[in-house]
Copies of this chain bind each other. A is one copy, B any other.
């Protein structure tokens, strides 16, 4: 495994791999790796060689009052974990390498970027789309792997990749959860004392509507009320949004007849967390179950025609 810090060298390595018809797989991360990231790396390893994992805490996707400076940076631990998974290259550029003086280009995805996270974090998705496009150009992957935890980010990357004809396959990977349901996130490291337990309210509210949908409830307003009821009953939590949205546009869903997300953002103390459940109309029987690490809650239930994946 080689750690690369410069754009020129990373591009050269990727170009050489492509010239030999090898299939480059990219897993873009901000480091502070957890089992969620590692599941993406394992998926990349199954399909691609070489596997490139980028580690870059991207300043342009943080707002001025957000946690850019305190975001956990654990390069040595990350490196050991990636070596154990037989990763070929870590691409870890500096901010100066990625954004030299005079940098002024941005990629924007209208519509979906303006909803939910985009409304709460102005400029966030421009920062994300721009850095991901740069990483795509530098590492020239055939496949790129993203977690469904950041569902709106995933949708924006898919939209950008298709609109700009990038010729890259964007692979969506399941959410990894702790045994009590908390979605894995590098920001979970911020949770102090009782906050860790309070944080499970996000999962519990999604799990609650999972049960309701299985029992036949299809009305978005009533499902949103049910999510809010769980969140509001947890005093340590301040909800930013809890919505049922169309999985393509991220506009509020009028029903569950198209694929939707139940999406939540909430602040636990000073830590902002997000989570979601995927709600899909299905035709055939459900085959298999998505399992978290250590026998954590899986989260597939069906009410005959709907599948909910936590």
Contacts and interface: CB of A to CB of B under 8 A. Distances in A.
Which of A7, A105, A163 has the most chain B CB within a 10 Å cutoff?
A105
A164 B133 contact: yes
Contacts of A166: 137
Number of copies of this kind of chain in the complex = 2
Contact of A163 (B104, B109, B110, B112): B104
A165 interface: yes
Contact of A165 (B110, B112, B134, B167): B134
Interface string A10-34: 0100000001010000000000000
Contacts of A248: 102
Contacts of A112: 104
Contacts of A110: 104-106
A135 to B, nearest CB: 9
Nearest to A21: B19
A123 to B, nearest CB: 12
Contacts of A11: 165, 167
Interface in A138-190: 138, 159-160, 163-167
B105 A106 contact: no
Contact of A164 (B102, B109, B137, B163): B137
A107 interface: yes
A218 interface: no
A122 interface: no
Interface of A: 7, 11, 19, 21, 102-112, 129-130, 133-134, 137-138, 159-160, 163-167, 248
Q: What are the 5 tightest A-B residue pairs by CB atom distance, in nearest-first order?
A: A105-B163, A104-B110, A137-B165, A104-B111, A105-B160
Given A104-B110, A105-B160, 7 more contacts: A7-B165, A104-B111, A105-B109, A107-B164, A133-B164, A134-B163, A134-B164
29 contacts: A7-B165, A11-B165, A11-B167, A19-B19, A19-B21, A102-B159, A102-B248, A103-B163, A104-B109, A104-B112, A104-B159, A105-B107, A105-B108, A105-B109, A105-B129, A105-B159, A105-B163, A106-B107, A106-B108, A106-B109, A106-B110, A107-B107, A107-B164, A130-B164, A133-B164, A134-B163, A134-B165, A137-B164, A137-B167
